Structure 1
Amino acid sequence: MLDIFRGLKNLIKVSHIHIDSSVFRLHYSITVMILLAFSLIVTTRQYVGNPIDCIHTKDIPEDVLNTYCWIHSTYTIHSAHLKKVGFEVPHPGVDRAPRDEADKKYVKYYQWVCFCLFFQAILFYVPRWLWKNWEAGKIHALMMDLDVGICSEVEKKQKKKLLLDYLVDNLKHHNWWAYRYFFCETLALTNVVGQMFLMNTFFDGAFLTFGFDVIAFAERDQEERIDPMIYIFPRMTKCTFNKFGTSGEVEKHDALCILPLNVVNEKIYIFLWFWFLILGFLTALVLLYRLIIILSPRMRAYLLYIRFRLINREVINTIVRKSKMGDWFLFYMLGQNVDSIIFKEVMHELGKKLGHTGKDFMDA
């Protein structure tokens, strides 16, 4: 089991070459690893040991009843959650069979949790897969091992010239490349929001407010509150098994079933609720930041200045004024990966080629 989890570290490797933001990396590295780990935990608990254990009668074999109730789903009773445990009902959500079928809340999801978590992990990796294909190794190719900074002067000069020639020759031709990355970030936010609604459907409309309900539950008086984790992930449920009796008539057997797997499920999904909320908030802030970058050249110049302080401010102003947003994004990505001294020299040379004379200045 431990070897499987160690393998996840190798599966989700984060390259030392940064072609995206740290928030974007949270989507395809940390979140994917979390979801895969949870999927493995649930799978192990589901297929090793008993995921369901029902109280049976002598007329029905134990394995038959357990298998039937696992496959056909169990149920709880809405009104029973409002009754006092130990006096009116034996367990939360467990009561006599109601007359109204609408009072039954069927628990149909637990067989699919491991598959759903795995599918969610795939969805979180899709934006990364798209950007990796669209980026096509551009940053790595332009770096030319200039991130090390330790090489002969002749080699360094040659590589700097190649990089500079590319930047000059392809100036104002990187907008589409940058916008595709911004689309991937937008897709990542859409995925987080969409998965909240996906899980809300998965849990019969009870997931969107799940975290708020858990917080509110802790603040209410113990006598008046319904545990939302037990309501969505019941540990004790009912199952109805029909069979022919000795007289040939249909006999109905009402069984109580324990779902130990739901103790794990409730912890997984309360964590995911808060994690997705935080991740969605951070991604929304990043997209707001991208919008400001697209609309404001002054902000682009200011961000380059505070991030790469070795570069002369007038040089930055000249470069930003004579380039487009996509070029700025490429410069920023290169600056994060190339040695800071080498990057400063390349930017100063680029400023000279773009007409910087030392007098150019744009207010920031």
Structure 2
Amino acid sequence: MDFLNDFKTLAKGDKIRTDNNIFKLHYKFSVLLLIAFSVLLSSKQYFGDPINCDVEAHKETVEVFCWVTGTFVIEDNTPEENFIYGLGNEAGKRTYTLLFYQWICLLFFLQALLFYMPRYLWKTWEGNRLGEVVDGLGGPLISEKWSPDRKEQIKRFILNQENHDIFAYRFAICEVLNLCNLIIQVYIMDWYLEGRFSLYGYDVVTKPWPQTYNAVFPKRTKCTYHKFGQSGSFVNRDALCVLPLNVLNEKFFLILWFWIAGLFLLTIAALIYRAMIICWVHFRLYILIAQARTFNRKKLRIIVWNISHGQFFLLYNVGKNMNPLIFKEFLNFVFHQLEIKGDDFSNL
């Protein structure tokens, strides 16, 4: 329940920013999108019955039976461009059963949980440490909470001897998990749709759209049910069934295909950005210069060259949550603290 309660705050803006915009696309926009899809598919009052079968007697019972046991389509053995759906089990055609559409709303909810897992893990590791340190310092005006004691507290938090590198690497791990999650999502949906998801968006763009949609999400299917005949023996009956929700499913999966493809590229770029921060000190300097544009660059160079990657990670995130004037004053305070240590800055 604690895990699920975190979803309530997704639509709200975060008071304390401990991640980045690409990370938010994973745990916020993706989760809200999938939950919306799940709710829409389960809202019978808006889109009607999930299945409608053309039968005269015991219509409701037959529809429940066909929904639970699955319907099937008949695929012609002719080339793909002549793919059709028949009404009889004619010779020369093969059938395949559709068993996936009953559970798509639950699949979307499971995917939402998977998208949120890296965020949940990072929140657990972060433990609101940054929130406690910068609380009340992010407003447009200089807060009364900004005092010499508060300045010293934040300085000790960043520059103490604790190994902050582990803290920073944990965020990098969560970013890697975001990429792993995207790969897992594609495998899950490809398995769920029997290999039809990985190229779904590409096929929709490059092939005639009715053909692609009908091949993956058919709207007209068949269902075979049994009843007792006049002599007391079992009699097979065929019903033509319509699946109205597949009109939504085809659009939802198309949106997901393009969203995951775009998010995959953005996540790769974010990981390259993270690797450059970890491995290249000059890159950290450029980032800090962009964040504190009006601050003396020589002082920034001295600060960056004399703190670890983990300390830089904390300093940068503290700056994201501080009033710019307060952050500038704090950077100046950090510079003088490093200068007091007697470090040799002559080569910088």
Amino acid at match of 2:165: N
Q: 1:105 aligns with which of 71, 81, 96?
A: 96
Quote the offset at 1:47 in angstroms: 9.3
Q: 2:248 aligns with which of 243, 264, 268?
A: 264
Residue 297 (structure 2) pairs with residue 305 (structure 1): no
Residue 295 (structure 2) pairs with residue 295 (structure 1): no
Q: 2:325 aligns with which of 332, 338, 341?
A: 341
Q: 2:117 aligns with which of 126, 142, 160?
A: 126
Q: Distance in 1 between matches of 2:79 and 2:115?
A: 38
Q: Distance in 2 between matches of 1:137 and 1:358?
A: 35
Residue 192 (structure 2) pairs with residue 197 (structure 1): no
**Counterpart of 1:5?**
none
**Counterpart of 1:150?**
142
**Structure 2: 5+ residue runs without aligned partners?**
1-6
Quote the offset at 1:279 in angstroms: 1.1
Query: Measured at CA, do residues 14 and 128 of structure 1 come closer, stay the same or move farther in structure 2, by a change above 3 Å?
Result: farther
- Percent identity reads 34
**Counterpart of 2:301?**
317
SS in 2 for 1:118: helix
TM-score in terms of structure 2 length: 0.89
Contact 2:47/2:245, CA 8 A, preserved across alignment: no
Contact 2:165/2:310, CA 8 A, preserved across alignment: yes
Q: 1:251 aligns with which of 235, 246, 257?
A: 235
Amino acid at match of 1:169: N
Contact 1:175/1:326, CA 8 A, preserved across alignment: yes
**Counterpart of 1:75?**
72
Q: Distance in 2 between matches of 1:288 and 1:20?
A: 16
SS in 1 for 2:147: helix
**Counterpart of 2:257?**
273
Query: Measured at CA, do residues 303 and 83 of structure 1 come closer, stay the same or move farther in structure 2, by a change above 3 Å?
Result: closer
Residue 155 (structure 2) pairs with residue 164 (structure 1): yes
Query: Measured at CA, do residues 106 and 26 of structure 1 come closer, stay the same or move farther in structure 2, by a change above 3 Å?
Result: same
**Counterpart of 2:20?**
21
SS in 1 for 2:76: helix
Quote the offset at 1:290 in angstroms: 0.6
After superposition, the C-alpha distances for 1:9-61 in whole angstroms (9 at most, x for unaligned) are 8653231211001010111111111111111100003897321111114xx41
**Counterpart of 1:181?**
171
Quote the offset at 1:186 in angstroms: 0.9
**Counterpart of 1:94?**
86
**Structure 1: 5+ residue runs without aligned partners?**
1-7, 219-224
Contact 1:239/1:257, CA 8 A, preserved across alignment: yes
Amino acid at match of 2:102: Q
Contact 2:217/2:250, CA 8 A, preserved across alignment: yes
Contact 1:81/1:226, CA 8 A, preserved across alignment: no
Q: 1:136 aligns with which of 117, 127, 130?
A: 127
Query: Measured at CA, do residues 311 and 360 of structure 1 come closer, stay the same or move farther in structure 2, by a change above 3 Å?
Result: farther
Amino acid at match of 2:117: V
Quote the offset at 1:248 in angstroms: 3.0
Aligned residues: 339
Quote the offset at 1:302 in angstroms: 1.3
Quote the offset at 1:307 in angstroms: 2.2
SS in 1 for 2:43: helix
**Counterpart of 2:217?**
233
Q: How does 1:46-85 map to 2 (within 5 A)?
A: 49-57=48-56, 60-79=57-76
Quote the offset at 1:199 in angstroms: 0.5
Q: CA RMSD in A?
A: 2.6
SS in 2 for 1:257: strand
SS in 2 for 1:354: helix
Comparing 68-77 with 10-19, greater Cα deviation is found at: 10-19
TM-score in terms of structure 1 length: 0.86
